[in-house]
């Protein structure tokens, strides 16, 4: 993807680095694949604020994405590559040979006119979806299932991908985006390629108002609160109140957040920090 650095014509564009949307081919979504998406504004069913720092934002519709890629052995042509306000990666509209239309997550390099297909015996080419057991070692994949038929769960955000490192019996070993080595059932489906919009994390909003358009309200720092409102609140001037922690007292740094004894621990071969787990 390409980034666009704006000229400082206003205070809001002085620091703004935006997406040039060079890959996007249309700004009109497919109406048959749209659903309404209601906003809560951070309020519960009683109308009371249940979540802080949420509110406002531009109205948007949900694009129905085919994460399962379960339309097997039927070729499809890429009709357009589109922006999706509900996710960081771009999406591609497929026109299947039988007339059906579906959205999928667009891999990097997918262009209009290309043909993609899903199935058990398809070539491991860009945009194709097939089982991990049918892919050669070293293949880069995204939208990976964790259980067969469940639909893709892993590596779906902008620029995300995992690499097929090995195959053992009924498991495929993937090197995850975090560096973790993990086992996934070998008959799970995945899509070949890297998720598009890889430079998403290099963008700069430029002004606070752009976050308001996204429905994100200003966040109050804990040290700026009173002691009754936050564990690190209070004090004179800029007293930090000790170690940074959440409103409930959970430390913000150096504390493990993964549940101990989690069932999927046996599927993790090596942590993202390089530490190998005991067998």
Category of 12 on φ-ψ map: left (φ > 0), alpha (ψ -120 to 50) or beta: alpha
Which domain CATH number covers 237? 4.10.950.10
Query: In whole angstroms, what is the distance from residue 226 CA to residue 80 CA?
Result: 52
Please check whether residue 9 lies inside any domain of the structure.
no
Strand runs (DSSP E) across the chain, as ranges?
3-5, 17-19, 34-35, 62-63, 76-82, 91-96, 101-105, 115-116, 129-131, 140-142, 144-145, 152-154, 162-168, 171-175, 181-185, 189-192, 268-270
Together in a domain, 183 and 258: no
One-character DSSP codes across 172-196: EEEE-TTS-EEEEETT-EEEES-BS
Backbone angles phi, psi at 184, to 5 degrees: -135, 140
Do 242 and 173 fall into the same domain? no
Domain boundary among 150, 179, 196: 196
CA distances from 168 to 112, 128, 174, 186, 187 (A): 37, 23, 11, 8, 12
Q: What is the DSSP letter of 43?
A: B
Residues of the chain with pLDDT > 90, as a percent, come to 81
Note down the domain range covering 135. Answer: 24-41+57-196
Are both 188 and 134 inside the same structural domain?
Answer: yes
- The alpha carbon of 192 is separated from its chain's Cα centroid by a whole number of angstroms, namely 16
Residues 187 and 68 in one domain: yes
Nearest to 89 by CA among 102, 106, 67: 106
Give the pLDDT score at 238.
Answer: 79
Say whether both 266 and 131 belong to one domain. Answer: no
Q: Does one domain contain both 276 and 190?
A: no
Check if the beta carbon of residue 96 is closer than 8 Å to that of residue 71.
Answer: yes
Q: What is the 3-state secondary structure (H, E, C) of 190-226?
A: EEECCECCCCHHHCECCCHHHHHHCCECCCCCHHHCC
Residue 211 falls within a domain, yes or no? Answer: no
* Structural domains of the chain, count: 2
Same domain? 120 vs 241: no
Proportion of the chain above pLDDT 70, given as a percent: 99
CA torsion sign for 261, 266, 267, 268 is positive
Q: Does 209 map to a domain? A: no
Q: What is the mean pLDDT of residues 22-35?
A: 96
Which domain-ending residue is among 196, 219, 249? 196
Q: Do the beta carbons of residue 84 and residue 55 sit within 8 Å?
A: no
Q: How far is CA 228 from CA 53, 240, 249, in A?
A: 19, 15, 12
| 8 occurs within a structural domain | no
The stretches of the chain forming alpha helices (DSSP H) are: 11-14, 208-213
pLDDT range class, residue 34, cuts 50, 70, 90 = very high
Same domain, yes or no, for 184 and 131? yes
CA proximity to 63, closest of 90, 103, 112, 108: 103
98 and 165 assigned to the same domain: yes
Each residue's pLDDT tens digit, 103-162: 999 999 999 999 999 999 899 999 999 999 999 999 999 999 999 999 999 999 999 999
Residues 182 and 272 both lie in one domain: no
Q: Is 213 part of any domain?
A: no
> Is residue 262 one of the residues assigned to a domain?
yes
pLDDT (mean) for 233-251 = 86
SS3 14: helix
Q: What is the CATH number of the domain that holds 97?
A: 2.30.30.30
Alpha helices for 74-165 (secondary structure H): none
Quick: pLDDT tens for 70-97: 999 999 999 999 999 999 999 999 999 9
| Domain endpoint, select from 196, 213, 247 | 196
Identify whether residues 184 and 63 lie together within a single domain: yes
For residue 130, the model assigns a pLDDT of 96
Q: What is the rounded average pLDDT of the residues 51-56?
A: 95
pLDDT at 279 over 60: no
CA distances from 76 to 114, 150, 262 (A): 8, 22, 40
* pLDDT grade for 278, boundaries at 50, 70 and 90: low
Q: What is the mean pLDDT of the chain?
A: 93
Residue 153 falls inside a structural domain? yes
Is 87 part of any domain? yes
Strands 115-116 and 76-82: antiparallel
pLDDT at 272: 82
In a shared domain, residues 190 and 240? no
């Amino acid at each position: 993807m390409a980034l666009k650095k704006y000229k400082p014509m206003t205070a809001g564009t002085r620091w703004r680095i935006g997406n040039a949307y060079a890959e996007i081919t249309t700004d009109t979504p497919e109406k048959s694949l749209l659903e309404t998406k209601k906003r809560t504004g951070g309020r519960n069913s009683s109308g009371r604020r249940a979540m802080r720092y949420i509110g406002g934002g531009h109205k948007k519709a949900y694009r129905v994405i085919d994460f399962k890629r379960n339309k097997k052995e039927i070729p499809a042509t890429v009709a357009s590559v589109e922006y999706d306000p509900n996710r960081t990666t771009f999406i591609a509209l497929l026109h299947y040979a039988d007339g059906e239309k579906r959205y999928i997550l667009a891999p990097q390099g997918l262009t209009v006119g290309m043909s993609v297909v899903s199935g058990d015996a398809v070539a491991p080419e860009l945009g194709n979806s097939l089982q991990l057991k049918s892919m050669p070692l070293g293949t880069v994949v995204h939208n990976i299932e964790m259980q067969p038929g469940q639909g893709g769960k892993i590596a779906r955000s902008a620029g995300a991908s995992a690499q097929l490192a090995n195959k053992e019996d009924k498991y495929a070993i993937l090197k995850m985006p975090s560096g973790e080595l993990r086992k996934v059932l070998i008959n799970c489906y995945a899509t070949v390629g890297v998720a598009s919009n890889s430079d998403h994390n290099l963008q700069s909003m430029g002004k606070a108002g752009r976050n308001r358009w996204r429905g994100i309200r200003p966040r109050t720092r804990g040290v700026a609160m009173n002691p009754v409102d936050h564990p690190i609140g209070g004090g004179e001037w800029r007293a930090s109140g000790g170690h940074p922690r959440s409103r409930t007292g959970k430390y913000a740094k150096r504390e493990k957040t993964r549940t101990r004894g989690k069932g999927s621990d046996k599927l993790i071969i090596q942590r993202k920090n390089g530490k190998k787990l005991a067998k």
